[in-house]
């Protein structure tokens, strides 16, 4: 029987045994993937972002929000008590790139949608310490000052379409989306009507509190308000998702 001291003092043996352990660990992780039909949970409600939500996500990335906030609630009791149901792969299937992350200077935002009002989000982004005393988050006043640029929204949707996101560019794809998501959502995913849909959602939602303008604040609040809201976990049994883990 090889003693621990012999392994530590023999570089060649240590390297060989290390490679064996790494190989076994790698096989344990890789082999099951060849026998899993799908790594995406089967849930209803998950859809691609609307044009306005997508522009909000772009601004979220531009401002580096992901550097301090994750969107990944892990399957641990303390996390679920604080944030809600753990994050599903299905919820990020249309994200390019996804925003899961692991850095939490601020709280996880995976289920922030609907937790606060639009007014709260606007106040928080303008002056974080006005609503969260002690916050170290910087102010973002320009989000309310800047008009939202959206003349290239069709090009943005087409780029994501090439990556597999089901935005429709023709009647056949539109009808497929009607079958998959319903007529209302399919209309929002139509590339040819992207600008009209963006303006309509911004004016109807009035996310920034000013119906006279469409600002970057409209877009980012619309994005934040949809995070974690697509799946109705109440319709699934407690053990439903275990089979996908």
Question: pLDDT-based confidence at 147, cuts 50/70/90?
Answer: very high
Count of alpha carbons within 13 Å of 26, Cβ hemisphere only?
6
Q: What pLDDT score does 3 carry?
A: 77
pLDDT at 39: 76
* 171 pLDDT tier (thresholds 50, 70, 90): very high
pLDDT score, position 9:
80
With a cut of 70, say whether residue 216 has pLDDT above it.
yes
In whole angstroms, what is the distance from residue 229 CA to residue 225 CA?
8
Global pTM reads 0.86
pLDDT digits (tens, 9 = 90+) for 173-211: 999 999 999 999 999 999 999 999 999 999 999 999 999
pLDDT attached to residue 1: 65
Determine the pLDDT at residue 13.
85
Share of the chain above pLDDT 90, in %: 80
| pLDDT tens digit sequence for 14-39 | 899 899 999 999 999 888 878 777 77
What lies within 8 Å, CB to CB, of 41 at 6+ separation is 88, 89, 90, 241, 244
Average pLDDT over residues 147-170: 97
pLDDT tops 70 at residue 6 = yes
pLDDT tens by residue, 67-122:
999 999 999 999 999 999 999 999 999 999 999 988 899 999 999 999 999 999 99
Q: In DSSP terms, which residues pair with 168 in a beta bridge? A: 190
Q: Are 114 and 227 in contact (CB under 8 A)?
A: no
User: What pLDDT, on the 0 to 100 scale, is given for residue 34?
Assistant: 82
The mean per-residue pLDDT over the stretch 153-163 comes to 97
């Amino acid at each position: 029987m090889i003693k621990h001291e012999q392994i530590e003092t023999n570089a060649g043996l240590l390297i060989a045994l290390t490679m064996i352990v790494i190989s076994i660990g790698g096989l344990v992780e890789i082999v099951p993937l060849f026998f899993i039909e799908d790594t995406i949970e089967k849930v209803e409600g998950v859809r691609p972002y609307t044009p306005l939500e997508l522009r909000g996500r772009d601004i979220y990335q531009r401002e580096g929000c992901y550097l301090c906030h994750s969107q990944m609630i892990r399957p641990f009791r303390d996390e679920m008590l604080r944030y809600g149901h753990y994050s599903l792969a299905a919820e990020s299937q249309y994200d390019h790139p996804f925003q899961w992350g692991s850095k939490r200077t601020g709280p996880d935002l995976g289920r922030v949608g609907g937790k606060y009002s639009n007014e709260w989000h606007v106040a928080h982004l303008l002056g974080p310490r006005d609503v969260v005393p002690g916050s170290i988050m910087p102010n973002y006043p320009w989000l309310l000052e800047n008009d939202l640029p959206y003349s290239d929204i069709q090009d943005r949707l087409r780029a994501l379409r090439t990556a597999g996101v089901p935005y429709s560019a023709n009647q056949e794809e539109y009808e497929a989306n009607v079958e998959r998501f319903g007529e209302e959502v399919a209309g929002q995913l139509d590339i040819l009507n992207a600008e009209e849909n963006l303006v309509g959602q911004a004016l109807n939602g009035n996310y920034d509190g000013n119906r006279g303008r469409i600002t970057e604040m409209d877009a980012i609040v619309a994005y934040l308000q949809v995070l974690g809201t697509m799946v109705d976990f109440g319709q699934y049994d407690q053990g439903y998702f275990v089979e996908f883990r």
